[in-house]
């Protein structure tokens, strides 16, 4: 059972566009990361995103390349400062999902899953970065691989 965590691609500054859509660089980086993930032959059931424009656009690019079985959905509880405990139930019930979100949420979630402490820092999330977590034989989450632009 794998869990893929993705930080949205680079976006336009909110001073230029308050919706913060992906920048041209962001679109290129997300596409490249999706292609690299596809080379790993990952199988996704679903991609879930926060609903913010930059996360939704990132998820759409990922869906086009990775073709998750059940497409993509928006979920509450994935905004930058949301409590990570809301999403833990979803993670426990689903297999092979990809979550597209934001900082500091993704760092807190990863730290909690790997160490049990959301305040730690176990991996960096540059824009468009992908982290694959998997459960080891003891049932604990560990970082299996990362893809960074």
What is the pLDDT at residue 62?
A: 98
Strand 46-49 to strand 141-147: parallel, antiparallel, or no bridges (unpaired)? unpaired
Per-residue pLDDT of 102-117, as tens digits, reads 999 999 999 999 999 9
Q: Could you tell me the CATH number of the domain that includes residue 121?
A: 3.40.50.1240
- Give percent of the chain with pLDDT exceeding 70: 100
Domain that holds residue 65: 2-147
Per-residue pLDDT of 15-66, as tens digits, reads 999 999 999 999 999 999 999 999 999 999 999 999 999 999 999 999 999 9
Number of structural domains (the chain) is 1
CA distance 52 to 19: 8
With a CB cutoff of 8 Å and minimum separation 6, the contacts of 85 are: none
What is the pLDDT at residue 58?
A: 98
């Amino acid at each position: 059972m794998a869990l893929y965590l993705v930080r949205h691609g680079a976006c336009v500054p909110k001073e230029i566009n308050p919706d913060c859509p992906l920048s041209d660089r962001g679109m290129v980086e997300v596409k490249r990361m999706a292609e690299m993930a596809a080379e790993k032959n990952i199988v996704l059931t679903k991609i879930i995103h926060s609903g913010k424009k930059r996360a939704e656009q990132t998820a759409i690019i990922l869906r086009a390349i990775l073709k998750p079985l059940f497409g993509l959905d928006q979920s509450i509880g994935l905004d930058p400062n949301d409590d990570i405990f809301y999403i833990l139930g979803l993670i426990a019930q689903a297999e092979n999902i990809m979550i597209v979100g934001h900082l500091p949420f993704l760092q807190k979630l990863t730290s909690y899953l790997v160490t049990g402490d959301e305040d730690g820092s176990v991996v960096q999330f540059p824009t468009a970065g992908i982290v694959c977590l998997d459960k080891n034989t003891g049932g604990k989450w560990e970082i299996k691989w990362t893809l960074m632009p």
